[in-house]
Structure 1
């Protein structure tokens, strides 16, 4: 990682001094000046791009629990030390490891045609290669109506619709039900396998993977395969013609026992209130079809680069800024829940948390869920970062990002800098999630927004937690 040239750029901030007297404004003029300087420096920096390039190139795909995810943790530790964080550590946890294995899937009736598919996380293997009649279901609701044993020995295909492109990603959750719980209905019906339309907005023949939901009885015993949108369209057209459909399928995906994963923690210690933590981050693991550039190498790079910029100010902000590279997010937020458990006795000192995990497009909105006094602070921060094209959104929006959910459940306040997700579901969880999809200028805008926002929060005199 050739990032050492960034360790001396703090001089850009040296013109701004820190007054010894208390400022009356909720964000002082000096803090605003420093925030604007951070924004300008971030817009001219390619540090975040270099970080995500390094991660995706030197480590590559990072399936949760795999040897590659272990290499990513080692990479994160080396990066944190190289960039000068005060404290760098790894907090390990144990998790079950699911391996994708090998997949063959092909249409065999009315003719032979390969289908582009991928096993879904948690899916079971097939004992051998088999050929099965396909039973068509228009959506997850139709499959849910299947009676026990009704489709024994057959392959269920759940169709659906293209995910509509949206800046906010609306619609993904409801559409995702076929991926998450479809297997439970198919297995109850006696199906030999389940095939689903990929939950994505891409018109390319790229299947979209992701984790299924575990039932109270455990995980799927049958293969569960997502096929690309064009292949799903093809099956739908054949079904409308009344043509009998058969597929040939063989999958070796399976669980392989418990392994170690972990969260990489990078701390910048606060100058006056080091016990109070402003937590930012992204998740280090990725699905294994692409190289995890937009999901979520970008988030790791954005938050790490923002913290590095803040560290080069003449004086550290009052509170500690903690960057967490969460492990095993894709398979059920396992790193997030491990972090909340490992820090449960200190969560009262976590005053704000947020995550970047929605790609690498420009940030357009700032939302929050903090106390009334801190809401006034966020309102003022929104004014400072508005030249970046960011508007102030709701002040009672819970969340902060997927890995922040366990912290929210424990009462940690949140903000979130919403990114434009219009093409996010074209890319994430697919083979198309690669570095070339990241625009360096948009990535820099993200860093500018994070650096200014997190600096002003970490340096504020406002009580951030009730």
Structure 2
């Protein structure tokens, strides 16, 4: 047990916080199935190879903006890796995505004192005029405060929303803060603003601004929108606190590229007894363009490929088919996930379970599931099988991951393998999302968890669904 070291320590820490222990497995799985799961974990912990896949993707392809030439190169890279692993039914399934390209990014305080600001355009932001926008700044604590501003009160001004994100191990602070990124430009434009700046949706204190997709509403003037790094947001606050009018200049030359082609890439290990029933384990291939997408979601891609390698090496195939899906265009609105759900609608009732690795490089610290009530003993037995990795029960129900959401909405059962996100949002969507942030040993543990979950879900003695359909 000593070889699990920090993993068990993480589990003990969570138990100390009141997390329940997993219930007994009630003989759900055969000894042979549990032995195979244990062997999968041991192989992964001894060296899963996941880090090598992340390195290859981030070096040979680099950042992979949806619809870009690099995204297409990533599809070719993924197809080649699946072939090398000897998987079957390899497919590249295309779909269309709205393309976008980043350009010049600059912001500065002009008065009452001059300061350069580190800024990045929000994904799909419209461009400023070539000479930029220079305007007074009006600060708001939250999106709700911006939405409550009087009509026309921001005419000719730049809105600045200063919502801070809380650091939480499960990443819960992201959901509390991210609304301003998606809805802020529309809200500011409705009040007459000519531009929007937000505090980055991140937990770091470095001068790396965080990008991410934003939205524009039909019938509302689209205005340029950017995110300031957290230290630069702090500096803008200090200047505003001087009590004098503050003028800011922003230049963003990003542009729409029109409809472009993207794709999901997938492959299978065919089930030995129930080949028409499918367990999906996924990640997303695309990334933002500032870093190399090592954590988001190169690490998930590495986990999926390493899990495929290990499961393929087992003496016998799993009972059900395991499908390894590398989704495209997740960052710009789950476009690949919706395409998958549409293209595979006829077989969704035969999807046994779905899970996604899309929250950094690990380790996995919690497990929960959204199975039909009759399959609760299976969820408990899987949890018990994962416990030696330092994994404890998670709170609430499982979404399975962002790209699994459209499947869950159609009643597909999900498994939630909660990765430790304590520092994930220090790097998320920034130029600092690079390979040096990936710990190979933690990635091995995450691979052990995802691979053994996929194996056990495929081996389950009963159907895990369907579960009640829910809103996406």
- Report the number of matched residues: 440
**What does the per-residue CA deviation read over 1:159-179, in whole Å, with 9 as the maximum and x for residues that have no partner?**
122x22111111211211221
How far has the Cα of 1:216 moved from its partner?
Answer: 4.2
Is 1:438–2:441 an aligned residue pair? no
Is 1:459–2:452 an aligned residue pair? no
Separation of aligned partners in 2, 1:174 and 1:464:
31
Q: Is the Cα–Cα contact under 8 Å of residues 352 and 457 in structure 2 kept in the other structure?
A: no
- Bigger drift between 223-232 and 366-375 goes to 366-375
1:11 corresponds in structure 2 to none
Q: Structure 1, unaligned stretches of length 5 or more? A: 1-23
Separation of aligned partners in 1, 2:113 and 2:239:
11
Alignment equivalent of 1:160, drawn from 158, 163, 187:
163
Is 1:83–2:85 an aligned residue pair? yes
2:423 corresponds in structure 1 to 423
How far has the Cα of 1:106 moved from its partner?
Answer: 1.3
Separation of aligned partners in 2, 1:393 and 1:225:
35
**What does the per-residue CA deviation read over 1:182-222, in whole Å, with 9 as the maximum and x for residues that have no partner?**
1112111221111111011010011010011342447x621
Separation of aligned partners in 2, 1:373 and 1:137:
49
Is 1:148–2:162 an aligned residue pair? no
Matches within 5 A, 1:283-362: 283-362=284-363
CA gap 1:217/1:408 in 2 versus in 1, 3 angstroms: farther
* SS of residue matched to 1:181: helix
Is 1:213–2:215 an aligned residue pair? yes
Separation of aligned partners in 2, 1:451 and 1:140:
40
Separation of aligned partners in 2, 1:414 and 1:359:
19
Separation of aligned partners in 2, 1:443 and 1:400:
18
Separation of aligned partners in 2, 1:343 and 1:133:
51
Alignment equivalent of 1:63, drawn from 56, 62, 65:
65
Separation of aligned partners in 1, 2:394 and 2:130:
53
Separation of aligned partners in 1, 2:141 and 2:168:
23
1:402 corresponds in structure 2 to 402
- Structure 1 segments, 4+ long, off by >3 Å, are none
2:381 corresponds in structure 1 to 380
1:137 corresponds in structure 2 to 140
Separation of aligned partners in 2, 1:374 and 1:453:
15
CA gap 1:160/1:463 in 2 versus in 1, 3 angstroms: closer
Matches within 5 A, 1:76-225: 76-129=78-131, 130-161=133-164, 163-217=165-219, 221-225=222-226
CA gap 1:217/1:276 in 2 versus in 1, 3 angstroms: farther
1:236 corresponds in structure 2 to 237
1:248 corresponds in structure 2 to 249
Q: What root-mean-square deviation, in Å, do the aligned CA atoms of Structure 1 and Structure 2 show? A: 1.4
**What does the per-residue CA deviation read over 1:137-172, in whole Å, with 9 as the maximum and x for residues that have no partner?**
2222221122332222221111122x2211111121
- Bigger drift between 232-241 and 104-113 goes to 104-113
Q: Is the Cα–Cα contact under 8 Å of residues 308 and 324 in structure 2 kept in the other structure?
A: yes
How far has the Cα of 1:346 moved from its partner?
Answer: 1.1
